[in-house]
Amino acid sequence: YNGVRAELARPIPAILLLAFIVAGIIHMELGMRSIILDYIGGQPRAWALAANTCFAVLLALACLYATLRVAFT
């Protein structure tokens, strides 16, 4: 844990980790969107797409918060 904190205290590794996290969450959201569009129809599709987007945004915010908290404490 202390080694990770020391590494994330430097800006380049922290930025790279944040970019990797954001790219992974975007990839997850796009993949789930594709599955939703293929297998769900009608009104449930709209709800599923909205839930997918909200989940991706909340997950991204939680991961960014956790990373920045480790980096700055």
**Could you tell me if 8 and 20 are in contact, meaning their C-beta atoms sit under 8 angstroms apart?**
no
What is the per-residue pLDDT across 3-56, written as a single tens digit (0 to 9) for each? 999 999 999 999 999 999 999 999 999 999 999 999 999 999 999 999 999 999
How many other C-beta atoms lie within 10 A of the C-beta of residue 28? 15
How many other C-beta atoms lie within 10 A of the C-beta of residue 8? 20
How many other C-beta atoms lie within 10 A of the C-beta of residue 34? 10
Q: Residues 45-71: what's their mean pLDDT?
A: 96
pLDDT at 73 over 90: no
pLDDT at 67 over 90: yes
Confidence band for 1, pLDDT divided at 50, 70 and 90 = confident
Q: Report the predicted TM-score, pTM, of the whole model to 2 decimal places.
A: 0.88
Q: Name every residue whose Cβ is closer than 8 Å to that of residue 24 and which is 6 or more positions away in sequence.
A: none
Give me 70's structure tokens.
């480790």
